[in-house]
Amino acid sequence: MHIEKTDRGLSGLSHQLVRYAVNRDQADCFFGYAWCQYEISCEEVLNVFSIAIGKMSIKSVKQHLIAINHCKYRMEASITVYLKRIFELYALTGLQWKCHKMQLYSESNSNMIQDNFSVKLKQVDHTITTFQNMKEEVLYYPYDQGFSLVDMYYKDEFGELVGIQATLSSERANTVSAYEKFYEMIGTNPEDTKLKLYYLIIPSQVEHYSQSSFPESQFWHDVQSGTGLRWKNNIAFYCLIPPDDFELISP
């Protein structure tokens, strides 16, 4: 499959839309093939998909996500785009889903407790805005691809900073520099502005995220060097889980 780019100055360039990827399971010395899937071939094609998904209605996005959640063969790169789109749409109408806190091994060995997550905002702003200039009831969803750590962020009803990161990875680790860059871009620091970071997943991933506690490598790269108390004490991690039918309100 190919797509031809006909924008002025790019006429004549074409790109493969998707490629069939076979992923190896290194632990299996005989067969060694874990699963197969289609992958988007390049950043330009993903951008085309993102623009198209960004124009979809809630109904269409929901139908796609339901199919994705039950399908083994899927284009992984596009799934987070669908997740971000449905959160953006639902946040403006009043979203009520399930969540739970993800704790470090060193914090607690208690059982995972599920909680409710709800948000209702009035508008979406696609610019990078400093924490000091953020308005309540606004979802900040920057178009800038250089924006670090989260996809979207907002102030909750208590004036606290909330970040949303759509992910398919069982380990969503970032370098400390990614956290530092995020705080630099919004003009604050973790000591003054604590962060609630929600990993937005598809329901079929819930088993991994339902553990009672997690190693530091779940959240930070290069854990051997230590992450520092400023990050451990001022950032709380949560898993945000839509219902299987991706409705506005979880049963």
Q: What are phi and psi of 91, to 5 degrees?
A: -60, -25
Gap between the Cα atoms of 215 and 193, Å rounded: 24
Which of 12-16, 68-72, 123-127, 170-174 shows the lowest mean pLDDT across its residues? 12-16
Q: Is 131's pLDDT higher than 50?
A: yes
Between CA 125 and CA 45 the distance in angstroms is: 25
Write the pLDDT tens digit of every residue in 4-47: 444 444 444 444 445 545 455 555 554 444 444 555 556 666 67
- Please, is 161 exposed, middle or buried when counting C-beta atoms within 10 Å of its C-beta (0-12, 13-18, 19+)? buried
DSSP secondary structure code for residue 59 in this structure: H
Query: What's the confidence (pLDDT) of residue 247?
Result: 94
- Top pLDDT among 133 and 35 is at 133
Confidence of residue 54 (pLDDT cuts 50, 70, 90): confident
Question: So what's the pLDDT on residue 52?
Answer: 77
State yes or no: pLDDT of 240 exceeds 80: yes
Question: Could you tell me the pLDDT band of residue 132, with boundaries at 50, 70 and 90?
Answer: very high
Distances (CA, A) of 175 to 87, 101, 225: 25, 21, 11
| Per-residue model confidence (pLDDT) at position 39 | 57
State the pLDDT at residue 9. 41
Least confident of 5-14, 43-52, 67-76, 148-157: 5-14
User: Which among 133, 138, 165, 142 is positioned nearest to 154, based on CA atoms?
Assistant: 138
Considering only residues 161 and 13, tell me which one the structure prediction assigns the higher pLDDT: 161
Helix extents (H) in the chain: 43-53, 58-69, 76-91, 176-185, 206-209, 229-232
Tally Cβ neighbours within 10 Å of residue 231: 17
At residue 77, the 3 state secondary structure works out as helix
Q: How far apart are CA 42 and CA 112, in angstroms?
A: 38
pTM for the whole structure: 0.80
What percent of the chain is predicted at pLDDT more than 70?
A: 71
Residues 230-239: pLDDT tens digits?
888 899 999 9
Looking at every residue in the chain, the average pLDDT score rounds to 80
Across the range 119-144, mean pLDDT stands at 95
Largest CA distance in the chain: 59
State residue 108's pLDDT score: 57
**10 Å Cβ neighbour count for 42?**
11
Contacts of 116 (CB under 8 A, 6+ apart): 96, 97, 98, 99, 250
> How far apart are alpha carbons 65 and 71 in whole angstroms?
10
**What b/e string do you get for 86-124 counting C-beta neighbours within 10 Å, with b at 16 or more?**
bbbbbbbeebebbbbebbeeeeeeeeeeeeebebebeee
pLDDT band at 56 (very low <50, low <70, confident <90, very high): confident
